[in-house]
Amino acid sequence: MKKALKILAKIAAIGGAVYAALFAVFYFDLDGKAIFKFVEPTLVKHYDNMPRRDPLTRPYGEEPTNE
């Protein structure tokens, strides 16, 4: 019983800590800051350097060719 209570208390404590941490992330806009400063620039770099199909080579016959 005591053990179970201990486990429950531990879970509650961990849950509480996670909840508090998430609240801190929320309140201080850490999600926004992380995305803005790290995630987005990395992705943009990737997109800018991606090889892309050249639009000027797209065929344009009288019928669509589904190419």
Partner 1 sequence: MKKPDWNKLKEKLKKTDPKKLARDFLYGKPHGERRLGDLYEPKTGLYKHREWRGVKDTFYYFNNIWLYNYGMMVADIMKYGGLVTFAKGVWRYRWVGQSYLPVMHWFDRGLEGVRGEALRASAWHYRAMVNQTIEQFMRMFCADQNIGGSKALYDQTIAHDETVWGGVFYPYRDQLDDIPLQMIPYFVTCHVNNHTVLNYIDATQSLGLPGDPCPMCQAECGLMILDDEPDFYPAFITTNEACDGSVATSVIQDWMINKPLYAMPQPMQFDDPLVQEHCAKEIEGAFRFIEEQMGVEFHWSELVKHVEEQNELQRFEWEKWDVAANTSYYPITGTAQALYRIYQSQRGNRKIWHDTDKRVRKILEKCVEQKIDTFPLTRHRVIAWSCAPLYYSHWCTWAYNCWGLNCIINMDSLMFDMTIRTDTYDNMLLDFARYHEWAPMRRMAVGGLKHIFELWENMEKFHCDMVMMYDQLQCKGMQGVHGLFEDEFRARDIHAIWMPHALPDKRTVSREEIRRIINDYMFTVMQEEPLDPSLLEFDDSKSW
Partner 2 sequence: MRDLKHLIYFEDLLQEAHNELVRKGKEDGNLALGYTCYFMPEVLLDLPGCFSVRLRAPRCVSPDMATYYMSGRTCHYGRSLFERALEGGFNFLDAQLATETCTVTCRFQEHLKAMPEVINNMNFKVEFSDVPFKKNENSIDHYEKQLKAHVLDFLKNNYGVDTSDETLLKTIEEHNEMCRIIREIGDFRKLDEPTITGYEFAVINLVSMTCPKYLIMDKLKETLEELKTREPDQRKTYRCKVVLAGSENDDPEFTKLIESCGALVVCDRYCYGAVEARVPIEIREGETPLRAIARHYLLTSQCTRFMEQEEMRHRKKFIAELAKEYKADGIIVASNKFCEYWSYERMIDTIVLPRDYGYPVCSIEKEYINSASGQLRTRFQAFVESIEIKKLQEASK
Nearer Cβ to partner 1 (4/62): 62
Instruction: Please report whether residue 62 would count as binding partner 1 according to CB under 8 A.
Output: no
Tokens of 26: 């929320």
Instruction: Please report whether residue 55 would count as binding partner 1 according to CB under 8 A.
Output: yes
Give alpha helix (H) positions in 1-67: 2-27, 30-34, 40-48
Nearer Cβ to partner 1 (2/58): 58
Interface segment toward partner 2; rule CB under 8 A; list 4-12, 19-27, 45-53, 59-67: 59-67
Instruction: Identify the residue whose tokens are 């943009």.
Output: 44
Tokens of 46: 């990737």
